[in-house]
Amino acid sequence: MASPSFSIFQHHLSDENYAEELQLQEVITSSLLSPPIKIPIHPSPTPHSSTSQVLCSICTDAKSHSQMFTNRVCTHTFCTDCISKHIAAKLEVTMAVKCPEPNCGTVLEPEMCGSFVPKRVLERWADALFEAMILKSKRLNCPFKDCGAAMIDEGDEEGVTAVECGSCWRLFCAECRVGWHGEMECGEFQRLRKEAGVSGDKDDAMTVKLAENKKWRRCPHCKIYVEKTVGCVHIVCRCGSEFCYSCGGKWGGAHACRGSAYERTVHRR
């Protein structure tokens, strides 16, 4: 059996780290060579226990109190470095960032973390919160290419689809998502459009084509394209809604998807 080599042990390390890694090396080597033997591991001395330092349970490093983050809602504390990374990572997949403590559920707010979270993360966070707010209501984008402003569809009056963009002040149809088609009914307009073979603009068509090629799915709620890299087909979108990557349909207790073209593709590989 080849003797295991552990390159991590060859780095220049502090004495404390070196001692810790030697211990690990000993444990791993013995566990690889023989069935489990009980190796007494001396609990590493709590570093700096005499000074007022605390261990962050995420990075397991000793930190000073000023490096720790506490919010006013729950009592869980982690170091600001870890909280900052946690926020950045969660914003990639969700719109609401929670306290890392499992089952805590306290929602973190930018105000609590403004002092240590990088500016670009804060901006992203603000965007996510705005988007989450818009998603709760009905979201609408101005269909004019040079504008595209996001707005909320208040949908006050039944059957009224003419909307004036609050940004560029042009009139458009909220149903057909095009510049206002005058007095023509939406159904009629869409029929004529189909007959004429017009299907959205070129960029949209390219996105759809790309999505088809890449086998991306669209969230049935917020419509964002999702690409699954690993894991199972039950997708929890960043907007919080759940769907099936296999059929693209909403996920529910009775989700019965049989059209697993995606699965078959995976198996063919």
Judged by the rule CB under 8 A, the positions of this chain that interact with another protein are 2, 4-8, 11, 17, 20-21, 23-24, 27-28, 31-32, 36, 39, 41, 57-61, 78, 82, 85-86, 88-89, 93-94, 98, 100-102, 230-234, 236, 253, 255-258, 260, 263, 266
Cβ proximity to another protein: between 181 and 217 the closer is: 217
CB nearer another protein, residue 61 or residue 109: 61
Q: How far is the CB of 57 from another protein (least distance, A)?
A: 6
CB of 85 to another protein, least distance (A): 5
Taking the complex as a whole, the smallest distance from the CB of residue 136 to another protein amounts, in Å, to 18
| Calpha distance 150→168 (Å, rounded) | 11
Cβ proximity to another protein: between 44 and 199 the closer is 44
Q: Which ranges in the chain belong to alpha helices (H)? A: 15-33, 80-91, 110-113, 119-136, 186-195, 202-214, 261-268
Which of 101/109 has CB closer to another protein?
101
| 109 touches 69 (CB < 8 A) | no
Distance CA 187, CA 178 (A): 13
| Nearest Cα to Cα of residue 42 among 26, 55, 59 | 26
- Shortest distance, position 111 Cβ to another protein, whole Å: 22
Residues whose CB falls within 8 Å of the CB of residue 58, separated by 6 or more in sequence, listed in order: 78, 79, 82, 86, 100
- The distance of closest approach from Cβ of residue 157 to another protein in the complex, given in angstroms and rounded to an integer, is 37
CA distance 171 to 165: 6
Beta carbon nearer to another protein, 55 or 186: 55
